[in-house]
Chain A
Amino acid sequence: MPASWNPEQPEITDLIVRHDPRTLQREPVRKQEVVEIFQKFGNRQAVRAIQELPEWDGMLVDAGVDRMMLAVHWEMQRLAEEFYHGHRVWEIVGATVRALRMNGYLQKIRIVDVGCGIGYTPRWLASRISAQEQGLEFTGVDLYSTLIREATRLAEAERLNCKFSHGDAFSPQLAGNIVISTGVVHHFRGVELEEFLRRHEREETQAFFHFDFQPSLLAPVGSWFFHQLRMRTAIARHDGVLSAARAHTAKTLVEAARKGAPGFASGMYGTRIWNTPLPRVFHTLVGLRRPLVEEFRAQLGRRAGRLGELQ
């Protein structure tokens, strides 16, 4: 196994942008510190990618990192487009919205994309679904202010009815009725994963859907091939493959959800392609308030077979 596929190490993007956990303000990052972390893992690919980043007096230059991260996120959006991610999200979020309405939930439903990056999912939803007619609010939250500024710029450029906020997605002002994320949960390891899911236990939150890579023997190889073809930046190529290697199994996700967020019935959605043994690239951790489960299953219609056991 190449050193860059070792799931024990963090991703480059986890380290080159750092925020104060309390104030969420950006903190300076010493380049050599990041390099040394990957040197310990013998990961020369990561070291080379970090060396390319601009530095000033040993510290990474924020604007240089931001520019690179923007390029990476534009590339990542291409993958989301190729995988029709917006359609996949609405497939289950739409069923949840209908289930909530059928259960008599009449208030505005706020859908929050946690760790939204440049906000592809909320923007896609806003471009296809009439938020006003359906009484919905599409929002995205991220700790990285540069990406939030870009998400806002893009939404304004296309006059899309969605909002983006820099901050904590589980804070009282920003928390949602339906919480979604894409490629985020594998960044939380061990107790952090449980803690992340525990934070969904808010009265207003009715459901959560976390989309992430599904681990399999072939996942890192397939991911490597695809990222070589489709991504141009060294960091995207590195982190994309490492994400697939670090992805949590369905068992880990479900166990963490049942332990961390016991107020929800949780399970997996879309793990296999058309009931064959073939794994999907992405699987989804699902959490629903128990009174919603039956109606949600009914609203999924012919896709209900993709939903695993919820408990």
Chain B
Amino acid sequence: MTLLLLYLLALLDGVLCGLRTAMGRNARISKRWYYLRATVRGLVGAQIASTIALGALLLVALITPNSGALRMDLEESAGRMLRIFLPYAVLVLGSLSLRAIPSTDIRSASSVMFLGPLTAIRPLVMIAGVGYGIWGSRLWETRVLGLIILALMLSLEFALNRWMGRMQAKQIAKLIPIGAQSGKPVKP
């Protein structure tokens, strides 16, 4: 159950990473499909990261002499991680829900006062959550797996950002080929 919750939180984080890395890279007014694609991209990214983490877990489970103890240690570590990640997720979702209130002031304030700062502390929350989770673990295998998960979580946004950056650069290059001429202006 604990591991499943962590997995769901990872997917949620992936979705938000997908959205964040897509923002500011499309200047249309209506962007429903663009953001839907960004959400799927984030979800796929988080799923890939989760699959790698699962692969690492299975590999460790195969080589460890005491898989029962490892499972218990992992569950305990994941439980400790959730004590950090769950309140953070609740705060993020709570801030997002403020956008449902039909007030431009409250909606913009949710960005400035909550979503912005919460985005800024995301890497610290990741480090704190995983650090707290593996701090009390008894097995080195758990610590290694925790660090692998941390590296995957931190690199997800970086990778999506690079991907989107490359796509954006290609699109802009298409819009402004070298040697583009200026249009004829209306004189004062």
Contact = CB atoms under 8 A, between A and B. Distances in A.
Contacts of B184: 166
28 contacts: A25-B182, A63-B176, A63-B180, A66-B180, A67-B172, A67-B176, A70-B175, A73-B27, A74-B26, A74-B168, A83-B104, A84-B104, A84-B107, A127-B29, A153-B175, A154-B27, A154-B29, A158-B29, A160-B29, A166-B183, A168-B186, A168-B187, A170-B188, A174-B186, A229-B120, A230-B24, A232-B165, A281-B108
A132 interface: no
A78 B112 contact: no
A24 to B, nearest CB: 4
Contacts of B27: 73-74, 77, 118, 120, 150, 154
A246 interface: no
B187 A167 contact: yes
A93 to B, nearest CB: 14
A23 B187 contact: yes
Interface string A222-234: 1001101111100
Contacts of A143: 185
A165 B175 contact: no
Nearest to A153: B175
Interface of A: 21-26, 61-63, 66-67, 70-71, 73-75, 77-78, 82-84, 87-88, 91, 118, 120, 123-124, 127, 143, 145-146, 148-150, 153-154, 157-158, 160, 165-168, 170-171, 173-174, 222, 225-226, 228-232, 273-274, 281
A148 B112 contact: no
A77 B24 CA distance: 7
Q: Main SS of the interface on chain A?
A: helix
Q: Is the interface of B mostly helix, strand, loop or mixed?
A: loop
Interface of B: 23-30, 104-105, 107-108, 111-112, 116, 119-120, 165, 168, 172-173, 175-180, 182-188
A166 B180 contact: no
Contacts, number: 116
A24 B186 CA distance: 8
A88 to B, nearest CB: 6
A228 B116 CA distance: 10
Contacts of B172: 67, 70-71
Across the A-B interface, give the 9 residue pairs with the lowest CB-CB distance, nearest first. A167-B186, A78-B24, A24-B185, A168-B188, A84-B104, A75-B24, A145-B182, A145-B183, A127-B29
